[in-house]
Structures are given as C-alpha cells and as structure tokens.
Structure 1
C-alpha cells in the first residue's frame, strides 16, 4: 500500500475501532505525521501494510488521542 493509503487506513481504523469522528481521526493522523511518527513509512513504503496500519492506529490513539496528565 502507498504511504498516502496507509495514512488513510490508519484514520479509518481510528474512526471505526476507537469511535472517533472522521474529523478527529484525521486530525490525530495529521498530528502524528507533523510529529514525525510516520517518517519511516515515507522512507520505506514496504512497511505500509494492513497489519502495520492496525498497529499504528493503536499507537497513534494511545500517544495522540488521550489527554496528557
């Protein structure tokens, strides 16, 4: 899958599995992307797989989707 498709899939998984609005899911992906979370994915598209998208959705939600204490 392409880098862009991977980001779309992560956003879709955040929407479906974590019950975020579409807007919130996209915002989380954009926040993670701006933070450099997906840099390796852009450099090596072979890691852009369905399994990795599922793992990334969990990590992005945990790291960027929960309020900081």
Structure 2
C-alpha cells in the first residue's frame, strides 16, 4: 500500500479497535504525522503493510489519545 493508504488504514484500525470517533482518530494520526512518527514509512514504502498498520495503530493510540 502507499504511504497515504497506510495512514488511512491506521486511522480505520484505531476507529475499529478502540471505538474512537473518526475525527478523533484522524487527529491522532495527524499529530503522530506532525511528530514524524511515520517518517520512516515515507522513506521506505515497503514497510507500509497491513501488519505494520496494526502495530502503528496500537502505538499511535497509546501515545496520542
């Protein structure tokens, strides 16, 4: 998946796994992106996988909720 698709998947997983509203999940992902949480993903799109999206969703929710 592309970098943008990965961010969308992380957002969707936060909504589904943690029962968070869409807007709140989007804000979490945007804050993580602003903190360069996803900078490696942009540099190496091969890490933009579904498995990594699950890991990232958990980390983003834990840090930015």
Q: TM-score range with shorter-chain normalisation?
A: over 0.9
Distance in 1 (alpha carbons) for counterparts of 2:63 and 2:53? 15
Structure (1 or 2) with the larger CA radius of gyration:
1
Q: Structure 2: state its 5+ residue gaps.
A: none
Say whether residues 1:38 and 2:50 are aligned partners.
no
Q: Where in structure 2 are the equivalents of 1:22-37 lying within 5 Å? A: 22-37=22-37
TM-score computed with the length of structure 1 as normaliser: 0.93
**Runs of 4+ in structure 1 over 3 Å off:** none
TM-score (norm 2): 0.99
Q: Report matched runs for 1:1-69 at 5 Å.
A: 1-65=1-65
Q: Which runs of 5+ in 1 are unaligned?
A: none
Aligned-residue offset at 1:22: 0.3
Over aligned residues, Cα RMSD in angstroms? 0.3
Aligned residue pairs total 65
